[in-house]
Amino acid sequence: MMNKNNRDIRVPAIWDRSGLPGWCYHSPALLELEKEHIFKTHWQIACHVSDVPEVGSFQTFDMCGERAIILRDSDRKVRAFHNICRHRGSRLVVKDNGICKNALVCPFHGWVYNLDGTLRGAARPDSFPELDKHKFGLRTIDFEIWNGFVFVRFKKGPQPAVKELLEPFAREAAGYNMADHVPVGELWHGQSPVNWKSVRDVDNEGYHVAMAHPALQDLYGATYADEPYVNGVSRSDGKFTQSSGRRWAVRNYKKMSKPQEHLPESLHRSWLYYGLFPNAVIAATPETILFYQEFPLSTAKSQLRSGIYRNPVEDRQQRASRYLANRIDRETVKEDIQLTIWSNESMASDSFEGFYLSDLEYGVRSHHDHLRAILPIYNVKQAPIEDDVKTLNTSLGNTGAQ
Amino acid sequence: VTTGTGNPDEFDRQKTLLLSKVGDPGSGAVRYAAAMYFFNQKLLSCDVLEIYRRCCKFDNEDPVELAKFEKIEGFSPLSFNSGNRR
């Protein structure tokens, strides 16, 4: 049975309610497989086109040892390159964002690249043979723009194009005019002392909302619902409840929320979340769109990254309601970070026997199933010898990783 | 590296960039990148390009003054006027 987005989101009557084995959350060998086969091979949100508004504007994106630069060239076209000089591999831009007014100049030896990525010239050109500007140009990265969000993929992988991946939500998402949004500020970066999967395990279910997120509960309460990951994407939404709101921010937000004229009425009083396997969410409220993502720095440390965007034109009331929405969201993020710490530390305990998930947490299971489909080693209940993890994974047979 | 496009607009633009005001943030790199453009046009020598490279990270360092100090010959093959550089 398909829902309105043509997705089968039913929770099976009988399903394995255990999560991933605890060892999966602290195995360095598994983490290396995850970097190669989960992160580098899957689409990652690098930024929004509005983060690179002018000719020469750039935004960088570092992940799992790889680094990208998103750049607007002289023809105002958005491009994506590896942030790696073709000479010795130095990063070409060292800041998170900025403007290269004329060209990219490597800070190591001074090779110069045009904004279209071609090599303008090597420093001390008399010390080199003739260099072809294309052959020695910046290496491009597979990238795609979906509703203004710039996705990159460091290595070819099993996912289809982003447009195809997110097709089930295309019509709904179009209502927000996401591509026209502008940044509220610079991208936010944070670190959390947990394995990346603990971040996702918390974010993939709303069972904890009533207990852990009083503001969200006050905002949309029992209307909140999660759709599991199906073909790499999930969806959640909550609709504003009829109550006026007990908490100051929620009460005033519900009172002040004033959607843009272009937004369809069905989205006027909703918060929406589109999950993208393996590690990202695009969320939309009547006032803002945003993305957030996490990726591993080590088995026990994750990088958190997010960006918030607003409609380019807004009146005072809309600006105030955006502030209130952000205040509710900030509170929620802080609460979630604590939950991820509690969830993650359980994985180190010999006494913890694994999850026993509610039907309301089927999103967690569906995410784990996506992971298992790529790395069958996740099915191994007891921690293997670290040196055997890669070989064992290969011997278990899979389609995604060899 | 192949020479530039030969586009007169680009030539003028790069000339403006080469003469970016000393002291402006990022101007050292802008001047060096422009110098590379004129090197490709065979209008600047290697020695002159090297002066711009040395000034690349120092927005307050005037390549003209450095070239004079270093007694670099033929610094201004394009007859760029350095009189209003500050």
**Dmax of chain A from CA atoms?**
74
Nearest to A37 by CA among A149, A123, A155, A211: A155
State how far the Cα of A165 lies from the Cα of B29, in Å rounded to an integer. Answer: 41
Q: Per-residue pLDDT tens, chain A, 402 aa: give them.
A: 677 778 888 899 999 999 999 999 999 999 999 999 999 999 999 999 999 999 999 999 999 999 999 999 999 999 999 999 999 999 999 999 999 999 999 999 999 999 999 999 999 999 999 999 999 999 999 999 999 999 999 999 999 999 999 999 999 999 999 999 999 999 999 999 999 999 999 999 999 999 999 999 999 998 999 999 999 999 999 999 999 999 999 999 999 999 999 999 999 999 999 999 999 999 999 999 999 999 999 999 999 999 999 999 999 999 999 999 999 999 999 999 999 999 999 998 888 989 999 999 999 999 999 999 999 999 999 999 999 999 999 999 854 443
How many CB atoms are located within 10 Å of the residue B71 CB? 7
Q: Determine contact: B55 vs chain A, CB below 8 A.
A: no
Residues A97 and A51: beta-carbon distance below 8 Å: yes
What is the phi-psi region of residue B23: left when phi exceeds 0, alpha when psi lies from -120 to 50, beta otherwise? left
Q: Determine contact: A94 vs chain B, CB below 8 A.
A: no
Tens digit of each residue's pLDDT (9 = 90 or more) over A32-91: 999 999 999 999 999 999 999 999 999 999 999 999 999 999 999 999 999 999 999 999
Closest residue in chain B to residue A128, using alpha carbons only: B1
Which of B1, B34, B57 is closest, CB to CB, to A102?
A: B34
Which ranges constitute the DSSP H helices of A140-295?
A: 162-165, 170-174, 196-203, 209-212, 214-220, 248-256
Would the pLDDT of B86 be above 50? Answer: no
Question: Across the interface, do A107 and B14 touch by the CB < 8 Å criterion?
Answer: no
Which of B2, B56, B57 is closest, CB to CB, to A133?
A: B2
What is the phi-psi region of residue A191: left when phi exceeds 0, alpha when psi lies from -120 to 50, beta otherwise? beta
* Sign of the alpha-carbon dihedral angle for A163, A165, A170, A173: negative
Q: Determine contact: B42 vs chain A, CB below 8 A.
A: no
Q: Determine contact: A120 vs chain B, CB below 8 A.
A: yes
Q: Which of A75, A102, A105 to mutate to test the interface with B (most CBs of B within 10 A)?
A: A102
Closest residue in chain B to residue A134, using alpha carbons only: B1
HSE (side-chain half, CA atoms, 13 Å) at A242: 0
How many CB atoms are located within 10 Å of the residue A177 CB? 16
Give pLDDT, residue A1: 66
Block residue for tokens 């603990």: A198
Residues A66 and A154: beta-carbon distance below 8 Å: yes
Residue numbers in A near B2 (CB within 8 A): 132-133
Q: Determine contact: A130 vs chain B, CB below 8 A.
A: yes
State how far the Cα of A66 lies from the Cα of A272, in Å rounded to an integer. Answer: 30
Residue numbers in A near B32 (CB within 8 A): 105, 110, 112
Residues A95 and A60: beta-carbon distance below 8 Å: yes
State how far the Cα of B27 lies from the Cα of B21, in Å rounded to an integer. Answer: 7
**Dmax of chain B from CA atoms?**
33
AA letter at A27:
S
Distance of CA A128 to the CA centre of its chain: 42
Tens digit of each residue's pLDDT (9 = 90 or more) over B26-41: 999 999 999 999 999 9
Residues A292 and A304: beta-carbon distance below 8 Å: yes
Of the pLDDT bands very low, low, confident and very high (cuts 50, 70, 90), residue B8 is confident
CB pairs under 8 A between A and B: 53
Question: Across the interface, do A112 and B32 touch by the CB < 8 Å criterion?
Answer: yes
For the record, the structure tokens of A181 come out as 């949004």
Would the pLDDT of B78 be above 50? Answer: yes
Residue numbers in B near A132 (CB within 8 A): 1-2
* The model's pTM: 0.93
Give how far Cα B48 sits from Cα of A129, A296, A303, B51, Å: 19, 46, 44, 5
Beta bridge partner(s), residue A234: A275
Would the pLDDT of B2 be above 50? Answer: no
Which of A101, A123, A124 is closest, CB to CB, to B30?
A: A101
State how far the Cα of A43 lies from the Cα of A49, in Å rounded to an integer. Answer: 16
What is the phi-psi region of residue A65: left when phi exceeds 0, alpha when psi lies from -120 to 50, beta otherwise? left
Give pLDDT, residue A3: 77
Residues A96 and A60: beta-carbon distance below 8 Å: yes
**B43 to chain A nearest CA, in Å?**
14
State how far the Cα of A271 lies from the Cα of A3, in Å rounded to an integer. Answer: 19
**A125 to chain B nearest CA, in Å?**
7
Give pLDDT, residue B82: 42
AA letter at A315:
D
State how far the Cα of A306 lies from the Cα of A290, in Å rounded to an integer. Answer: 7
